[in-house]
Amino acid sequence: MTTYVDTSALLKRYIDEADSERAEALLQSERQLVTGRHTVVEVRRNLARLLAPEHLTGARQAFLADVDRFSIVELDARTCEVAADVAERTGLRTLDALHLGAALRIGTRIGFLTFDVRQASAARSLGFTVVGA
């Protein structure tokens, strides 16, 4: 199955936190992973914020190798318009709405992997099958 992966799920692969093992298992079990272009910015920013310098380089390299295997939804005008509609309907924050806008470009017949409870609720309301949260 194709699964859209948001930042909350992907970060758990590089930061040891609650549900990291579960996130890893879910990421390993999916054949085709997809994310939005902005995930690169979100993950790298959070790695730099959360990791000590001696751990940052390795985590960044691992992330960049992983994301090369993802299909990437670009944040073009159409994706941003869909995200704006999502934000208006759900009240989600901008980056979360961009994740759902990117996922909607693929369609709701994919899984949506998140550990963000608000994001999961909004994804379900849009017709996605949510895994994670």
Using CA atoms, how far residue 68 sits from 10, 85, 91, 109, 115, in Å, is 13, 29, 31, 23, 22
Q: What are phi and psi of 87, to 5 degrees?
A: -60, -40
What tens digit of pLDDT does each residue of 57-101 get? Answer: 999 999 999 999 999 999 999 999 999 999 999 999 999 999 999
Q: What CATH number corresponds to the domain at position 111? A: 3.40.50.1010
Res 30 pLDDT > 90: no
Gap between the Cα atoms of 55 and 80, Å rounded: 34
Q: Tell me which residue range forms the domain holding 73.
A: 2-132
Compute the chain's Rg from CA coordinates. Answer: 14
Interval 90-116 mean pLDDT = 96
Per cent of the chain over pLDDT 90 is: 94
Interval 102-117 mean pLDDT = 96
The structural domain count of the chain equals: 1
Stated as kind and residue range, the H or E segment containing 73 is strand 71-73
Interval 98-126 mean pLDDT = 96
Q: In the structure, what pLDDT confidence band is assigned to residue 7 with cuts at 50, 70 and 90?
A: very high
Res 31 pLDDT > 90: no
What tens digit of pLDDT does each residue of 35-58 get? Answer: 999 999 999 999 999 999 999 999
